[in-house]
Amino acid sequence: MQQLQAERDALLKPLATVTGIVERRHTLPILSNVLIRKTDDKLTFTGTDLEIQITSQQAEGFSGGEFAITVAAKKISDILRAIPDKTVVTLEETGGRLTVKAGKSRFQLQTLPAADFPQLAVDNTLRATVKLPQGQLKALLSRVQYAMAHQDIRYYLNGLLLVTEGNQLKLVATDGHRLAFASAELSTSFEKNEVILPRKTVLELYKALADSDEEVTIDIAGNQVKFSFGAVVIHSKVVDGKFPDYNRVIPVANDKLLEIERQLLLAAMQRAAILSNEKFRGVRLVLTQGLLKIICNNNEQEEAQEELEVSYDNSPLDVGFNIQYLLDILTNTSVETLHFSFGELGSSVLVTIPGNEHFKYVVMPMRI
pLDDT exceeds 80 at position 25: no
Comparison of pLDDT for 60 and 82, the residue scoring more: 82
Section 325-333 average pLDDT: 97
- Write the CB contacts of 108 (distance below 8 Å, at least 6 apart in sequence): 97, 98, 99, 100
pLDDT exceeds 90 at position 364: yes
pLDDT exceeds 80 at position 202: yes
- The tens digit of pLDDT for each residue in 217-240 reads 999 998 999 999 999 999 999 999
Pinpoint the residues of the chain covered by CATH 3.10.150.10: 2-116, 126-248, 256-363
Does residue 279 come out as left (phi exceeding 0), alpha (psi in the -120 to 50 range) or beta?
Answer: alpha
Domain spanning 126-248: CATH 3.10.150.10: yes
Mean of pLDDT over the chain? 95
- The tens digit of pLDDT for each residue in 272-289 reads 999 999 999 999 999 999
Taking 3-state DSSP, the helix, strand and coil percentages for the chain, each rounded to the nearest 5, stand at: 20, 45, 30
Residue 61 has what pLDDT?
A: 84
Residue 222 has what pLDDT?
A: 87
pLDDT exceeds 80 at position 26: no
Residue 80 has what pLDDT?
A: 97
pLDDT exceeds 90 at position 270: yes
State the pTM of this model: 0.93
Report CA-CA distances (Å) from 224 to 44, 49, 279.
Answer: 22, 14, 38
Q: How far apart are CA 53 and CA 47, in angstroms?
A: 6
Nearest Cα to 292, choosing from 314, 312, 272, 322?
Answer: 312
Q: How far apart are CA 293 and CA 318, in angstroms?
A: 9
| Burial category of 101 from C-beta neighbours within 10 Å (exposed 0-12, middle 13-18, buried 19 and up) | middle
Domain 2-116 maps to which CATH number in 3.20.20.70, 3.10.580.10, 1.10.287.180, 3.10.150.10?
A: 3.10.150.10
Class (C level, CATH) for 256-363:
alpha beta
Q: Cβ(45)–Cβ(16) under 8 Å?
A: no
